[in-house]
């Protein structure tokens, strides 16, 4: 209030008034002052109420946007907290309890092992015939040995293979060397719908994935792998976004592409209650973005939109086109420590490095053939490959061969 009374005084300086009139005028002035003060107080009150309304609305909107839902299926809230505490970001925010710190310090290193990465070839060549590691030849259906339009594949440290069996609305796990024997981790009875974009945090042993709820809202869910009985919805994004891409960085921030809004939204761990928008919200810089990928060494974000890949620095809004070509949007994206970019698009896996042109060269699935022709369903051909996974410990390449309904592994020759 002191600044306001200061203002009042400056409006009504007694020195401005001739001496003779001073007494009477002071009385009038006092009345006027009183009146002005009442008006002022009223004005301030109205202003305050107005501001309060704005704040309330903002908070409500923000809250609606975030829609965090900590409902665990078949578990208690206590377990929910444990899950969030074992993620790394708590340490980053300096709010880690000693218990959390202990878990962090004793946990095995993250999946990223630079020393092994260096053993990868700078110029890799792959066996053109792959091995089917999940799914089988023949018509897709929901039998246990089959897959339908798998969109994503991911490995854990033991090389168990996790598959988003997207059109069957389930996530399956396959054991190394035993392609036929998989098990269903989670399926329709858990209310999941078109899962895709698998990501495993190896340290906490959680699987993140993108799917949709009953109202067709896109959402991110978390599955505790060592129990497979704990599932947590950590983000509900809404149905308008049409989100096809989700990935995480090493601090477990979640990135989601919003196809309809031409942007990527980064949700900040550990609570995912704040977000940052990456890319401008217009079609100039990002145009219907789909798949996204984080290179964990540099923390660069790779974004597939239209028929190209852009590299975005997550610390600035600077972007660069690193791949451009073909008539379709790239699907899967991978990146190795030598700066080789791998993408799946149409019927091949392409490699782009600093000596190839922006279109890259086909390194897997090199034969072109007519669409929808099952005669070409060999282990050397791909049909709409989507998610890809490069095993950075040995160079093996896994492809979710979506329209041939299988996962194929290609081994490196040199
Ligand atoms: C989870 O709980 C529901 C209802 O409480 C039950 O029907 C379902 O079988 C449980 N699922 C698992 C995997 O335990
Ligand atoms: C998890 O972290 C929160 C915030 O630091 C803390 O209040 C809570 O006690 C922790 N829970 C467990 C089980 O460690
Ligand atoms: C956490 O660890 C620090 C340093 O080891 C110690 O000083 C502090 O008392 C511990 N806090 C709790 C709550 O145990
Ligand atoms: C990376 O892998 C190599 C070879 O297996 C191993 O010696 C090294 O300890 C690993 N480094 C980390 C940080 O795990
Ligand atoms: C880039 O890839 C092409 C095709 O595989 C290869 O011939 C070339 O040597 C690579 N360049 C580098 C620097 O690895
Ligand atoms: C990037 O762009 C977004 C949207 O235009 C803006 O909100 C954000 O502050 C920018 N970030 C940086 C680091 O410039
Ligand atoms: C391309 O990458 C290779 C391997 O990282 C590097 O040795 C070479 O200098 C690069 N060439 C150019 C033109 O950047």
Model pLDDT, residue 227: 67
pLDDT, mean over the chain: 77
- Give the span between the Cα atoms of 49 and 351, in whole angstroms: 59
71-75, 162-166, 361-365, range with the lowest pLDDT: 71-75
Q: What pLDDT digit, counting tens, does each position of 106-115 carry?
A: 233 344 444 4
Q: Is the pLDDT of residue 239 over 70?
A: yes
> DSSP string of 334-365?
EE-TTS-EEEEETTEEEEE-TTS-TT-EEEES
Using 50, 70 and 90 to split pLDDT, how confident is the model at 55?
Answer: low
Ligand 2: which residue has its CA nearest to atom 2? 85
Q: Which helix H or strand E contains 313, and what residues bound it?
A: strand 308-313
Domains of the chain: which residue ranges?
126-413
Closest ligand by atom to 185 CA: 1
309 contact partners, CB below 8 Å, separation of at least 6: 302, 303, 321, 322, 323, 324, 330, 333, 341, 343, 352
Q: Is the pLDDT of residue 261 over 90?
A: no
226 CB within 6 A, ligand 5:
no
- What CATH number does domain 126-413 carry, 2.40.50.1020, 3.20.20.80, 2.30.110.10, 2.120.10.30? 2.120.10.30
| CB 195, CB 164: distance < 8 Å | yes
- Average pLDDT (45-54) is 79
- Give the span between the Cα atoms of 295 and 291, in whole angstroms: 13
Specify the pairing of strand 348-352 against strand 397-401. unpaired
Using 50, 70 and 90 to split pLDDT, how confident is the model at 199?
Answer: very high
Please give, one letter per residue, the 3-state secondary structure of 204-225. CCEEEEEEECCCCCEEEEEEEC
109 CB within 6 A, ligand 4:
yes
Using 50, 70 and 90 to split pLDDT, how confident is the model at 9?
Answer: very low
Using 50, 70 and 90 to split pLDDT, how confident is the model at 251?
Answer: confident
Using 50, 70 and 90 to split pLDDT, how confident is the model at 56?
Answer: low
Ligand 1 binding residues, C-beta < 6 A: 73-74, 229
Ligand 4: which residue has its CA nearest to atom 5? 116
Q: Enumerate the H helices of 69-205 as residue ranges.
A: 77-85, 89-92, 98-106, 114-117
- Top mutation candidate among 71, 72, 73 for ligand 1, by most atoms within 8 Å of CB: 73
What is the chain's length?
A: 414
Dig out the tokens for 279 from the structure. 């890319």
Q: Is the pLDDT of residue 294 over 60?
A: yes
- Give the span between the Cα atoms of 51 and 48, in whole angstroms: 5
182 in helix, strand or coil?
Answer: strand
357 CB within 6 A, ligand 5:
no
pTM passes above 0.75: no
Closest C-alpha among 338, 308, 336 to residue 322: 308
- Give the span between the Cα atoms of 414 and 393, in whole angstroms: 14
- Top mutation candidate among 275, 317, 318, 319 for ligand 6, by most atoms within 8 Å of CB: 317
- Average pLDDT (257-272) is 84
294 contact partners, CB below 8 Å, separation of at least 6: 247, 248, 249, 255, 300, 301, 302, 314
- Average pLDDT (86-104) is 28
Model pLDDT, residue 277: 80
Using 50, 70 and 90 to split pLDDT, how confident is the model at 205?
Answer: confident
Closest ligand 7 atom to 122 CA: 4
Closest ligand by atom to 186 CA: 1
Percent of the residues in the chain that have a pLDDT greater than 70, as a whole number = 73
Model pLDDT, residue 57: 54
Closest C-alpha among 5, 387, 327, 320 to residue 166: 387
Q: How much distance in Å is there from the Cα of 99 to the middle of ligand 3?
A: 10
Order of strands across the sheet with 206-212? Answer: 72-73, 231-238, 218-224, 206-212, 196-201
- Average pLDDT (298-310) is 92
CA 323, 326, 328, 333 dihedral sign is negative
The larger pLDDT score, comparing residue 32 to residue 157, is at 157
| CB 186, CB 169: distance < 8 Å | no
Model pLDDT, residue 71: 32
For tokens 């908070």, what's the residue? 59
Q: What pLDDT digit, counting tens, does each position of 325-339 carry?
A: 999 999 999 999 888
């Amino acid at each position: 209030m002191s600044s306001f009374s200061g203002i009042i005084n400056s409006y009504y300086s007694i020195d401005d008034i001739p001496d003779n009139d001073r007494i009477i005028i002071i009385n009038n002035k006092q009345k006027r002052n009183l009146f002005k003060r009442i008006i002022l107080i009223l004005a301030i009150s109205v202003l305050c109420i107005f501001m309060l309304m704005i704040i309330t609305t903002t908070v409500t909107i923000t809250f609606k946007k975030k829609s965090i839902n900590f409902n665990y299926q078949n578990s208690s809230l206590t377990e929910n907290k444990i899950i969030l505490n074992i993620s790394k970001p708590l340490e980053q925010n300096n709010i880690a309890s000693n218990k959390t710190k202990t878990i962090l310090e004793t946990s095995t290193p993250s999946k990223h092992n630079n020393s092994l990465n260096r053993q990868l070839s700078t110029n890799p060549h792959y066996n053109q015939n792959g091995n089917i590691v999940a799914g089988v030849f023949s018509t897709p259906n929901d039998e246990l040995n089959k897959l339908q339009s798998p969109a994503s594949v991911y490995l854990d440290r033991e090389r168990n293979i996790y598959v988003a069996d997207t059109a069957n609305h389930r996530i399956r796990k396959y054991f190394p060397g035993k392609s036929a024997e998989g098990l269903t981790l989670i399926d329709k009875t858990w209310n999941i719908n078109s899962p895709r974009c698998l990501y495993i945090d190896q340290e906490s042993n959680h699987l993140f994935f993108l799917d949709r709820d009953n109202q067709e809202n896109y959402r991110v869910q978390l599955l505790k792998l060592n129990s497979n009985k704990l599932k947590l919805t950590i983000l509900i994004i809404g149905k308008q976004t049409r989100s096809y891409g989700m990935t995480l960085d090493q601090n477990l921030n979640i990135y989601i592409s919003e196809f309809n809004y031409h942007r990527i939204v980064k949700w900040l761990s550990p609570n995912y209650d704040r977000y940052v928008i990456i890319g401008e919200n217009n079609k100039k810089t990002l145009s219907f973005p789909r798949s996204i990928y984080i290179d964990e060494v540099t923390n660069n974000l790779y974004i597939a939109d239209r028929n190209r890949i852009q590299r975005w620095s997550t610390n600035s809004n600077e972007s660069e086109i690193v791949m451009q070509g073909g008539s379709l949007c790239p699907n899967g994206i991978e990146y190795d420590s030598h700066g080789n970019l791998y993408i799946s698009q149409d019927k091949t896996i392409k490699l782009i490095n600093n000596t190839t042109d922006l279109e890259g060269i086909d390194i897997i699935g090199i034969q072109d053939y007519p669409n929808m022709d099952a005669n070409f369903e060999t282990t050397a051909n791909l049909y709409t490959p989507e998610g890809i996974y490069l095993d950075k410990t040995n160079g093996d390449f896994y492809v979710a061969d979506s329209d041939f309904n299988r996962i194929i592994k290609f081994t490196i020759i040199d």
